[in-house]
Structure 1
Amino acid sequence: MNLKCLLVLPILMLVGCKAELVTQLNASDINNPDSNGKVLSANMYVTLMDGCFHPETGVESDGLAEANGLMFNLFKQNHELVSCQANDDLGLEYTANYKVDVVLDTIQDKKSPESKTGMVIIANNEQGYISLQLDDNLRKRLKARTEELNMLELESVFVLNNDLAEDLEVHIPSSYVHDGKSLKAHQLFTGWIPAGKGGEFWASDVALDALRDSGVQIYSFVAKPKE
C-alpha cells in the first residue's frame, strides 16, 4: 500500500484513505483544580485498504505495519493499538484504532502538566476557554508530514460530555456540527448540550491548519451551565 495513504495525525485524510482523531472532555473537569494533570484517552482511527493481518500467516499487513511506524514516529512508544477490524462484511475497508493519551490542564499557573505524547487540553479559565495544544516537537513532526505528503485533509472531532445536572451552553468556533441529517459549517456555533448528553464537533480546515502551524486548536470559547 502506498505510504502516502497512511499518514495518521491529529487527523489526516487522503483521497481513499482516512484518519480521525477523537478527543473527549467531561464538563465537570473544566476549571476543576482536582482534574489538573488528569490523563484523558484520545482515539486515532486509521482506515486501511489492505486488511489488518495476512489471512494465512497472521503477520500484520503492509498498511498496518506502515501505520504503526508512523504512529511511533509521531508519538514514540506513547501509543497503543487497541484494535484493527473490518468495517464491512466484504472486507474492503479496515480501521485501526490507536489510543493516545492527552493530559488535562485546569489551573492557570503559566505552566502545563507534563505530557508524554506532547498533547494537552487547556480548560483553565472562567470563560470555559478550551483548546488542544501540541508541544513544539510534535507540531513540527505533524507539519513536516503534512507538507511532505500532499492531497491530505485534516479531520479532528471534539466530544464534550455534559456530566453536569444542568444544560450546558457552548460556543464552538470554526467547526462542523451535525444537525441530524448532515454536517453543517459554522463560523461560530452557539447552542446547548442537555444534561447527561454529549456534543460532537468537527474542526474546519482553518482550525486544523492553525493546529499544524501554531500548535493550537480552539475547541470552545464558552461552556457554562444554563441559568
Structure 2
Amino acid sequence: MIRAGVKAILAADPEIDVVAEAGDGREAVDLTLAHRPQVALLDIRMPRLDGLAAATEIHRSAPDTAVVMLTTFGEDEYIARALGDGASGFLLKSGDPRELITGVRAVAGGAAYLSPRVAQRVISELRDGRMSRGAAARTRIEALTERERDVLALVGAGLSNAGIAKRLFLVEGTVKSYVSAILTRLGVRNRVQAAIIAYEAGLVEPAE
C-alpha cells in the first residue's frame, strides 16, 4: 500500500519514471544495480535489508545513483545515519506529498534535499556546535582552490549542478568535475556532508 501510494505521487509528475519497485532492501539493491536509476527511494524499515544498509551498498556499488530516504521517524539518529551512509535526501512520510516530488527532482538534478522538518533539526544541531567545529572545517577547506570554494559555497546553499553552472557561468559538466574533486579533497561521501562543512566553515548561512 505504501509503495502504491508513493508510486501514484511520483507518477503525477510527467518528468519522473518509476523503473522498478522492490519489496525489500536486498531487492532494492539488486534492482538498482540492474536499472541504474538516477534516484533510489528507500524506506528506512524494509525486510531482509533495512534502508540504511541498502543505502550503503548502493552508494558503494552504484555511486551514480543518488539515494533518498523515506521514513515515518524523525529521530536524529536516523537522520545522522542516513546522511552518513551516503543518502542525498531525507523525507518524512508525514510531510506534504509534494515534498516527495520536489525531493526526488532535486536529488536527480545533483542537489541535496532535506524535508523542512529535518533541515530544521540539522541546522539547529549545527548551530549548537558550530564554534567548536568551525576551526576544523576552515582547515579542511584550505585544501580547495578559490574556484572550488565558490562551488562548495553554492553546494552548501542547495544549488544543483545546473544552478551552480548558471551562477558561475560554467558548463554543467565542469561543475560536476569540481564537485567530484571537492568531495575527494574533503574526504566526504556526498553533497550533504560537503554542505555541512561549507556551513561550519562560514561559507554559507542557514538562511541560504
Instruction: Looking at secondary structure, tell me which structure has more strand per residue.
Output: 1
Higher Rg? 1
Which structure features the higher share of helix residues?
Answer: 2
TM-score (normalised: structure 1) = 0.28
The higher relative CO (CA closer than 8 Å, separation ≥ 6) is in 1
